[in-house]
Structure 1
Amino acid sequence: MGLLKSFFNQCARPEGSLGRAMLCFMNYTHAPLTNWGLKLVNVQDGWTMLDVGCGGGFTIRRLLKRSKDAQVYGIDISEESVTKARQVNAEVLDKQVYVTQGSAEQLPYNDEMFDLVTAVETVYFWPNLPDCLQEVRRVLKPGGKFAIMVEVVDSDSKWTSIVDGMTAYTPEQLKTLLDDAGFIQTEIHRKKPTYATIMGVKA
């Protein structure tokens, strides 16, 4: 159990060799959730997009594939994640893809910059979630979309006892937080067994 807990504790901020292993693990295991969630968004060509908590960089790659002539930005609090995301997207790095180390609490981007912001399996670790949601809203263009994708959908999830610093939210709680942050047209989409995508639009 000790090694398993150590491994899953890399979810929040991957570091070292165990963190690198976690990033590879996440790149592949998050694929079904991400691919399903992105279909709901109806990504358009030419969009400027941001993946917050970009981890190993596969969501960035998936966003690029869905939007011709897109610009995709990624940000992650983990230096290991930033390195991995840059490697994964090396061919288009600093041309179509831009990866930065930083926090959801203070996004280093201009107001009204993005058509879409995504957060895949990461809001569990965002500090001061209402403040982070305001930051996401600030950097979205009017009419821009924010898509939160989660697999842990029970606020009493066993995962919170395994992964340090993790807070689990129900989709209903996340929808309420989006409503409170000023997002409109908020929706919950579910897919069995536990996938959920919670979306909102900036007015």
Structure 2
Amino acid sequence: MGLIKKYFSNTRKPDGILGKMMVSGMNKAHAGVSDWGIRHLSSIQPQTIIELGCGGGRNAAQLLNNFPKATLTALDYSEVSVEKTKQVNRREIQHKRCQVLQGDVATLPFSENSFDLATAFETVYFWPGPTESFREVCRVLKPNGLFLIVNESDGTNRSDEKWLDVIEGLQIFDKAQLSNFLKDAGFSKIIVDHDETKHRLCIMAMK
């Protein structure tokens, strides 16, 4: 495996030195699309949030800043991502507003009806299923809880297809596919904001 391909393979599960470089890069590269997605949450005031696939921890910090009365659990199956997220959010961790765990979205270590809001930024491309993983998210959300998915690739941009050969396990879904997965997982109401110019998606699914 060439160095470039090895580096980008860390998009899925950051590991080692290249993984540390990747998560730092994620915080900068995904800031624009993440902030666009978070702006869709302006009408809600969640008390309990779970950030799934927390990457470099930047989005967890933004959510904690936007919702100062909320507590947040960040989860990732990469040890590198967990450690980076802890570093970025160490103050909120000290203040008991944030906890960071290593875990798998396919088997979330939480009881039913635990969270008001679940978020997934630039990560569902790699989730197993993904209907089964979405079903787990639905399980841990409270009644009327919201699941926010934000993707920088909408499944319609031909230039994104090059990444399928570079990043192992990558799957790029369009809005119809994601909506169907969410319906099959048990979500009752789905709202899609599709920015066709920038080929990005924001999907809000209510339990």
Greater Cα shift, 39-48 or 103-112: 39-48
Moved more, 185-194 or 140-149: 185-194
Matched, 1:125 2:126: yes
Which of 168, 177, 194 lines up with 1:173 in the alignment? 177
The separation in 2 between residues aligned to 1:58 and 1:43, in whole angstroms, is 22
Superposed CA deviations along residues 141-168 of structure 1, whole A, max 9, x for unmatched, are 1111001111122277221111011111
Q: What does 1:24-43 align with in structure 2 at a 5 Å threshold?
A: 24-42=24-42
Give the drift of 1:25.
0.5
Contact 1:149 1:196 (8 Å CA) reproduced: yes
Q: Secondary structure at the match of 2:172?
A: coil
Distance 1:173 1:46 in 2: 27
Q: Give distance in 1, aligned partners of 2:32 and 2:200.
A: 9
Identity %: 38
Are 1:140 and 2:145 matched, yes or no?
Answer: no
- Aligned to 2:107, the other structure's residue is in SS state coil
- Alpha-carbon offset, residue 57 of structure 1: 0.6
Greater shift after overlay, 155-164 or 49-58? 155-164
Deviation sequence 1:70-106 (CA, Å, 0-9, x none): 1011100000100000010011115001100000001
- Structure 1 residue 26, shift from structure 2 partner: 0.4
Matched to 2:109, the amino acid is P
Cα distance, 1:3 vs structure 2: 2.1
- Aligned-residue Cα RMSD (Å) equals 1.5
Is 1:47 the counterpart of 2:47 in the alignment?
yes
2:198 maps to 193
Q: Is the alpha carbon distance of 1:135 and 1:103 closer, same or farther for their aligned partners in structure 2, counting shifts above 3 Å?
A: same
Displacement of 1:128 after TM fit? 2.1
TM-score by length of 1: 0.94
Structure 2 match to 1:65: 65
- The Cα of 1:5 is off from its aligned counterpart by 1.2
Alpha-carbon deviations, 1:2-55, whole Å to 9, x = none? 222111100111011100000001011111111111111226445210111001
- TM-score, normalising length from structure 2? 0.93
CA distance in 2, matches of 1:42, 1:104: 26
Query: Which residue does the alignment assign to 1:183?
Result: 187
* Equivalent residue, structure 2, for 1:163: 167
Question: What is the rounded CA distance, in whole Å, between the counterparts of 2:131 and 2:120 in structure 1?
Answer: 14
**1:80-99 pair list within 5 angstroms:** 80-93=80-93, 95-99=96-100
Where does 1:11-26 land on structure 2 (aligned, <5 Å)?
11-26=11-26
Query: 1:10 touches 1:18 (CA, 8 Å); kept in 2?
Result: yes
Q: Which residue does the alignment assign to 1:6?
A: 6
**What is the rounded CA distance, in whole Å, between the counterparts of 2:43 and 2:124 in structure 1?**
21
1:151 paired residue number:
152
Alignment deviations for residues 84-143 of structure 1 (CA, whole Å, 9 cap, x no partner):
000100111150011000000011112111111001111111112111111000010111
Unaligned runs of 5+ in 1: none
